[in-house]
Chains A and B, each alone.
Chain A
């Protein structure tokens, strides 16, 4: 089982460049989300989705776009990267369909992004 797959694992960008972090899950989970993690800040929710075609903003959405055209994929786009977006990004998914989930968010391995 692949679970949640994130790519790339590492990326260096220059200020103003754009890029997309990819996230895919093969568990048929309805809920998918993107978090960023900075030292001492825990995980902060960027955007989330409760199903294909439905997305919503989290705690820190500015500078990021998402779309959910399929159940499996939830890409995160940085349109014009800024140094403040240097962080580790985690994609996570959660299923609510029977058999009832334990409540566990399944995480990808993370993507470390540096913006110079």
Chain B
């Protein structure tokens, strides 16, 4: 059965801290790994990763995929209160038939 696991499930940090969120997966035909940020409403897209070892960056956020370890990390440096959200990891199958999400990591950044 396809599965996506995230850790930690919740995290509280102070502004300025650096955080690392983890995602691991077990899927039959891996195609891509996706990271989303969810605040009050629908998830918003952050990154799509398909190749191992290639880091994707957007401002203070970065992510990398390790296909050998079936995992990915999402790093956020110099955290701000606006980074408080649920961060969702999802895995797409080869034919895009299914996109499965993990349980999410709830991040709280306190001043």
Chain A residues proximal to chain B, CB less than 8 Å: 31, 33, 35, 40-45, 48, 50, 56, 58-59, 90, 92, 94, 96, 102-105, 107-110
Contacts and interface: CB of A to CB of B under 8 A. Distances in A.
A104 B45 contact: yes
A102 B48 contact: yes
29 contacts: A31-B96, A33-B99, A35-B101, A40-B9, A40-B104, A42-B4, A42-B6, A42-B104, A43-B88, A43-B90, A44-B101, A45-B98, A45-B99, A45-B100, A45-B101, A48-B97, A56-B97, A58-B98, A92-B99, A94-B96, A94-B99, A96-B96, A102-B45, A103-B34, A104-B45, A105-B34, A105-B45, A105-B90, A110-B42
Name the residue in B6, B42, B103 with the highest tally of chain A Cβ atoms < 10 Å from its Cβ.
B42
Contacts, number: 62
